[in-house]
Structure 1
């Protein structure tokens, strides 16, 4: 299952800039005689509470940009990998959220409140799970060490608007590092600060802490140096540096330091990861390659046995067949080989669901998923695929019930709300449809549009006074959230 998030900027960019300016004012006018809170890095620049609020605001805007991928299988993998590292992180103050950006640049980034994005291009070029984990560990370290807040603290003598301009450039760089560089150079605070993200000291600190985290989590500590070498090779072969090098400058000294730090830890042989190889195949087949090329690529890989794990290559070929609408060939691979070998694998269950729906046989998907959903009803891959299959089979009440249960513990899952809206629309329950759409807009930070949807929902509610009362209460909540951002 895969859903791309719809662009939805509206007025929210203004609100975000206003919030950053407000945070900057707090920083600029802090009482110079006040002592910082002991034990919390950069707490006098921006509090943890404000950092989480701003991080949530940025993430809502990121969700509304088309490069952000709504892919439950890839998200589940990335979040699981990230969590395996976070449990070994020191000073983790936030529940981390990891997400994908559909961009072929070699890049990853972190911002306020424990949000970490990874470009598909980075995944495509990582050779091992330890290399990918090394990048995540580095970004987690930027967050736990609060490097953005510390940069703000260093800029306390600048004007509030200058600080807001600096941070605004950082946030632009999330999706486009070169544009972020231009934005920062245009600001008065940027002329003496050419790097986008962090100082050289911050980079060294993130490298040191990240490699230590990598070792504690059981990965190959050489992954960091190996990936640095990959980036350096890209730089030598390209007319301009990879995107990640614009935000994370790479020197021979930094590569040597990474190798020296790795030598301080015992050598560990890590076997190839099936989940990593499946995620990499999914990125290539669905996001990086053209459909015809993807088929040829995976056929050649299988013919030459140029794979690390054969099942991952077969999975890539099945996805490539799906994109070419050759669903029967995809089903043959999925049912006769992959699911036969590994019937509980979420990557395979997701693909099989899409194939059955494409073939007009959604009830076969429902039958396939039902025992798995019964064991793990809150898993996003299983629940969302089952809901999608039920909607395709016109079993709307069952889909809605499943989604409501899922949303009880996943309150901000936009795909679940999108599916809920689709089910209500097809079932001609228009008041509930508009309420679900309102939740999607709110997750994009577009509160004005969310309120508009609730107004439509109110008009469709008829004589249902209890529902009208709930809608009025939700409108008030959205308006309060918008005002809270403006007061930040």
Structure 2
């Protein structure tokens, strides 16, 4: 499946990760040993409704400005992993959204409204799925315990200006990392020692709750301590540790506490998870390494046979061949070997579609996907790959119907709107194309650009008064959303 991995502004996201994680972990009550009254104390600073509005606004700006990875198969894997944890979380007040950041740093961060970002470098350093899950569980705990809101409550008791500086700094960091961090530092400098106390309290709380969540969800509760140890050892002699260690200090006491908490749960012997290793191989092959080095890396892994998962090594090699446009070699690995042995595997189906389309074999791609689409027509990987194959094969009407059906249940997946705009453009349906592009800009928080696109669409509506009325109503909705954002 074609992917959209935004480049540039890596430092912007790095700054945002640092600032949001720091905000998330610096809050608690003056009594550090008392757990929060969820929804009561924190709601004095910000209600759940407003928290979701702020989270939505930040997420829209991140889509437009941060180097996120829009990759259906990786998105589905991460969201599924996160959901398996969230169902075992306490005080989950809203759906969680998990997304990838195209950055090789070891980092993850949470912010308002249940949004959790994971840097690509995190899964590259994790040895197994439980280690990756341990980081997600920790970040989920920051959200369910409303650490950001509790920090705001503590700052509110000190000065309202600090809250404005904090929120302004978070948003500003997306456009200008240095300015954003400076604004946040200026707003919090007066209470540095208090922030240290909040950090200790919230990290202990998130560790405790996260490890319990990890165990309830069926993962290895020892994974948190093992990943802590791996990170600490890797960067023991480095003068500047990664963002994850800057915002989540790894003291010996913290690692020992994680081991002690894990000892309260039964030992789990968990077999290697194929989807984890495939996701990791995809990250490494497509996003972490240059094309030539990825090919060398996975060829050596296959030849040596010492890669943690043999099929994942072959999959990574197949993807590396694709990046280097060696489609015959990629076909031999992905389609003739891996997919033949596991015909329903979405990782393989996604790659096989890309190979077929690169070789102008549109009918092959469509016929391969159709049986799976009949079973799960709104699966993200299948629907978007199928629509892409239909577009490349000139079947624009069918493609637009597939995408519209998908968007009914996934209205905020930008890649679907991008494909929809492409389908309408190829079909010369320019009014519909501008409407689809407007939705992409709206997902970026670029409301003025979205309104411009809708006005272009209005000019193509001709005498269709129903379409014109629908466009006018959507313009009003977008302007209302922009006004609400300004009032925040």
Between 263-272 and 158-167, the greater mean CA deviation after superposition: 158-167
Summarize the Cα distance change of 1:238–1:174 in structure 2 as closer, same or farther, 3 Å threshold: farther
1:177/1:247 contact within 8 Å kept: no
1:5/1:69 contact within 8 Å kept: yes
Cα drift, residue 164 of structure 1? 2.1
Secondary structure at the counterpart of residue 155 of structure 1: helix
Partner of 1:383: 383
What CA distance in whole angstroms lies between the structure 2 residues aligned with 1:482 and 1:172?
17
Secondary structure at the counterpart of residue 265 of structure 1: coil
Partner of 2:360: 360
Partner of 1:213: 213
Partner of 2:189: 190
Query: Which runs of structure 2 are paired with 1:63-462 in the superposition (5 Å)?
Result: 63-170=63-170, 181-185=181-185, 187-193=186-192, 199-462=199-462
1:108/1:244 contact within 8 Å kept: yes
TM-score by structure 1 length? 0.90
Cα drift, residue 254 of structure 1? 0.4
Secondary structure at the counterpart of residue 92 of structure 1: coil
What CA distance in whole angstroms lies between the structure 2 residues aligned with 1:311 and 1:54?
42
Secondary structure at the counterpart of residue 388 of structure 1: helix
Cα drift, residue 467 of structure 1? 1.0
Cα drift, residue 8 of structure 1? 12
Cα drift, residue 7 of structure 1? 8.4
Secondary structure at the counterpart of residue 445 of structure 1: coil
Secondary structure at the counterpart of residue 106 of structure 2: coil
Secondary structure at the counterpart of residue 411 of structure 2: coil
Summarize the Cα distance change of 1:120–1:177 in structure 2 as closer, same or farther, 3 Å threshold: farther
Cα drift, residue 230 of structure 1? 1.6
2:141/2:210 contact within 8 Å kept: yes
1:311-343 CA-to-partner distances (Å, cap 9, x unmatched) read 110000000000000011101111221111111
What CA distance in whole angstroms lies between the structure 2 residues aligned with 1:339 and 1:103?
30
What CA distance in whole angstroms lies between the structure 2 residues aligned with 1:143 and 1:468?
42
Summarize the Cα distance change of 1:6–1:73 in structure 2 as closer, same or farther, 3 Å threshold: same
Summarize the Cα distance change of 1:365–1:155 in structure 2 as closer, same or farther, 3 Å threshold: same
1:181-204 CA-to-partner distances (Å, cap 9, x unmatched) read 54432x132343386996210000
1:410-441 CA-to-partner distances (Å, cap 9, x unmatched) read 11111110000000001111000000000000
What CA distance in whole angstroms lies between the structure 1 residues aligned with 2:242 and 2:347?
30
RMSD: 2.4
1:231/1:242 contact within 8 Å kept: no
Secondary structure at the counterpart of residue 49 of structure 1: helix
What CA distance in whole angstroms lies between the structure 2 residues aligned with 1:7 and 1:302?
30
Partner of 2:481: 481
1:158/1:189 contact within 8 Å kept: no
Partner of 1:24: none
Partner of 2:12: none
1:98-129 CA-to-partner distances (Å, cap 9, x unmatched) read 00000010000000000000000111101110
Secondary structure at the counterpart of residue 100 of structure 1: strand
Summarize the Cα distance change of 1:237–1:290 in structure 2 as closer, same or farther, 3 Å threshold: farther
What CA distance in whole angstroms lies between the structure 1 residues aligned with 2:117 and 2:94?
15
What CA distance in whole angstroms lies between the structure 2 residues aligned with 1:196 and 1:439?
42
Cα drift, residue 238 of structure 1? 2.1
Partner of 2:33: none
What CA distance in whole angstroms lies between the structure 2 residues aligned with 1:60 and 1:114?
14
What CA distance in whole angstroms lies between the structure 2 residues aligned with 1:196 and 1:81?
31
Secondary structure at the counterpart of residue 235 of structure 2: helix
2:6/2:68 contact within 8 Å kept: no
What CA distance in whole angstroms lies between the structure 2 residues aligned with 1:440 and 1:144?
30
What CA distance in whole angstroms lies between the structure 2 residues aligned with 1:419 and 1:78?
22
Summarize the Cα distance change of 1:50–1:66 in structure 2 as closer, same or farther, 3 Å threshold: closer
Secondary structure at the counterpart of residue 306 of structure 1: coil
Summarize the Cα distance change of 1:175–1:115 in structure 2 as closer, same or farther, 3 Å threshold: farther
2:61/2:174 contact within 8 Å kept: no
TM-score by structure 2 length? 0.90
By percentage of residues, which structure has more helix?
2
1:7/1:65 contact within 8 Å kept: no
What CA distance in whole angstroms lies between the structure 1 residues aligned with 2:5 and 2:291?
21
2:161/2:187 contact within 8 Å kept: no
Instruction: Show structure 2 runs of 5+ residues with no match.
Output: 10-19, 21-35
What CA distance in whole angstroms lies between the structure 2 residues aligned with 1:139 and 1:56?
17
What CA distance in whole angstroms lies between the structure 2 residues aligned with 1:98 and 1:72?
12
Cα drift, residue 2 of structure 1? 3.8
Query: Which runs of structure 2 are paired with 1:4-83 in the superposition (5 Å)?
Result: 4=4, 40-83=40-83
Cα drift, residue 159 of structure 1? 3.5
